[in-house]
Amino acid sequence: MIPDLEGAEVLIAVDEHGSIGAAARHLGITQPAASARLRTMEARWGLALVERSARGSRLTDAGQAVAGWGRAAFERVAALQAGLEALQERHDRGLRVAASLTVAGYLVPRWLGELRARYPAATPQLMVVNSAAVIGLVHDGTADLGFIETPDLPPDLAVRRIGEDALVVVAHPSHPWAHRDEPVATDELAAEPLVLREPGSGTRRTFEAALGSAPTVALEASSTASLVGAVIAGIAPGVVSERAVTAAVQNGELVPVATTMNARRPLSVVWSRERRLSRTAEALVAIATAGSATMKP
């Protein structure tokens, strides 16, 4: 039979406080409830554990033995509780986040700041790679959460859409496209050498899907910053997230080019269905989801 822990708790309190009434007050229960717990325990085991008198209550020899065993049991339970809480705190404190470049550069820092405001002890680790690599890091367990910017969503991971992003074509002010009135058609985009992100990136995959054909590459850049720098240097027009060129367009370094292409892509967070998310991971997903309504360039 499973030991009666509620009865043992009352028994220990009677030993320490001298009466059933004082024990009940210590435990925050009524005296009749405390008495009932003791009677149930005594009846269950066929033992007299407490001697009751007008002057108070004291434990019998059997009661003293049971109280001693009870104290040892509660100490072990307390140690188990402390150990579990420590493990939970360590699990919640460490959060491994992988994010594709646009999300990492323009959105994740804001979300992590809000997460730290809620959980000051959290120590998130951020890995910045392209969307294909993010999915790989979540697959192999290196990352707890992955933020991606690709239409190719992994069917074997849990996925939540958190917003969307628009790709734009930008050019140096001296490029002919910077001064034309009519939009650039997709066949012109396909024929023109462009500065693009590397294969496997969400930007490249979204652009190729919108273009409907293989693009002509003038330069491949493995980061958004290097792509924007190459376009500013006049190498060729580039295709990039609208968020990444807001400042360059505002200060006149780049000119947005009107096109007939509709290149919008979902922004999503992914995680393994096989691994339980920590509280901090769940909080970050909620923060990112709530922030989707305000995700403007």
In the chain the domains, ranked by start, together with CATH numbers, are 5-91 (1.10.10.10), 92-163+266-294 (3.40.190.10), 164-264 (3.40.190.290)
- Tell me the whole-structure pTM to 2 decimals: 0.66
Rounded to whole angstroms, how far apart are CA atoms 2 and 73? 13
Which tokens hold the place of 106? 């323009």
Rounded to whole angstroms, how far apart are CA atoms 124 and 129? 16
Q: What pLDDT score does 88 carry?
A: 65
Q: What pLDDT score does 90 carry?
A: 59
pLDDT < 70: residue spans in the chain = 1-2, 84-93, 292-297
Give percent of the chain above pLDDT 90. Answer: 65
Q: What pLDDT score does 122 carry?
A: 86
The CA distances from residue 213 to 182, 259, 282, in Å, are: 22, 16, 39
Note the maximum CA span of the chain.
104
- Cβ 249 vs Cβ 258: under 8 Å: no
- Count Cα atoms within 13 angstroms, Cβ side, for 38: 28
- Cβ 203 vs Cβ 239: under 8 Å: yes
34: nearest Cα among 49, 45, 46? 49
pLDDT (tens digit per residue) in 100-132: 988 998 899 999 999 999 988 888 999 999 999
